[in-house]
Amino acid sequence: MKAIIQIPCLNEQETLPATLADLPREIDGIDEIELLVIDDGSTDETVAVALECGVDHIVKLPNNRGLAAGFQAGLDACLKLGADIIVNTDADNQYSGADVPLLVRPILDGEAEMVVGDRDVAAIDHFSAPKKVLQKFGSWVVRRLSDTEITDATSGFRAYSREAALQLLVVDNFTYTLESLIQAGKGNVAVGEVAIRTNAKTRDSRLFGSTSAYVRRNGLAILRIYTRYEPLKVFSGLGVLVGILALAAWMPFLVDWILNGDRDGHIQSLLLGAVLFIVAMQLFALGVIGDLLAGQRVMTQRVFERVRRIELELDVEPSHTLDSPRENTPA
């Protein structure tokens, strides 16, 4: 049984040593543990620090592609390296590395294929009130979409079995946490959750310059992901709303016509209602088209999974640069 702990990094030379030192090298039930760092276009000494700390593998991306792309590149590399379990953690040491055994235990016991670490967001002091509210709202949306009971959907401290990782394909450019859970739920992957500890804050978030930026970007991400996976519900709901507005616009004309027999008045409201009705029908049509495209996306994901399995069997080289310092060290 082989486990690889992957750490996406962007200019993490200051925090990476503490993060790596906190990670376990032995876990009951696992024969081999390796550390993999994903360098997402760092301009500092992140790679040099990782080498000094003795990481086993480094994935190098030529430029900064974002957290989601870095996560997916690491996942592909871990599969290529023969990982049976893949653990993802952050380079800022916000998660307690000592809880990695707790995270992988449900997978080892056959109780789950994907495990999320619950940070108990409400108890994190340095999280602002709007951030906590949005975290809870995002988790609620994910629970509705994925039919899972995960309470901390935005936690990046996770463990994946090999089978779960093979099915995962993150297409969002911003975040992998929400989308990966939704995919897992809709793919009937057994998802579990364990309570984990967090460390003291080491630096400000690199993803957001302010709380308002966090609320805006996460809010848009949640809306985008919900629309991607439930287009019929979104556009049908909007269509119903616009249809009600169309009916309201028609009311003066209808009332005057029914009560007074006058069909010449309220031409403006009649035209406005007609325009709104056309918009409502277009929204319903968009919902149907989106639902068809969502089905096509599921089929594409299944094709991707089969291609990934074939590539692993044929030992196809990854599209990114993968270095294994220990393998390159002369005996």
Residue 173, domain CATH: 3.90.550.10
Q: What share of the chain is helix, strand, coil (3-state, %, to 5)?
A: 55, 15, 30
Place of tokens 């074939």: 310
**pLDDT value, residue 182:** 84
91 and 182 in one domain?
Answer: yes
282 and 225 in one domain?
Answer: no
Domain membership of residue 36 (yes or no) is: yes
285 and 198 in one domain?
Answer: no
Enter the pTM of the model: 0.81
221 and 241 in one domain?
Answer: no
Domain-ending residue, one of 188, 206, 229: 229
Domain-ending residue, one of 194, 229, 264: 229
216 and 92 in one domain?
Answer: yes
Burial category of 104 from C-beta neighbours within 10 Å (exposed 0-12, middle 13-18, buried 19 and up)? buried
Domain membership of residue 300 (yes or no) is: no
* pLDDT lower than 50: segments of the chain: 331
**pLDDT value, residue 331:** 45
278 and 219 in one domain?
Answer: no
Domain membership of residue 183 (yes or no) is: yes
How many folded domains does the chain comprise? Answer: 2
**pLDDT value, residue 274:** 92
217 and 78 in one domain?
Answer: yes
155 and 261 in one domain?
Answer: no
Domain-ending residue, one of 198, 229, 260: 229
Return the number of other C-beta atoms located less than 10 Å from residue 95's C-beta. Answer: 25
**pLDDT value, residue 298:** 82
Q: Cα-flanking dihedrals φ and ψ of residue 43, to 5°?
A: -110, 0
236 and 194 in one domain?
Answer: no
Provide the domain limits for residue 170.
2-229
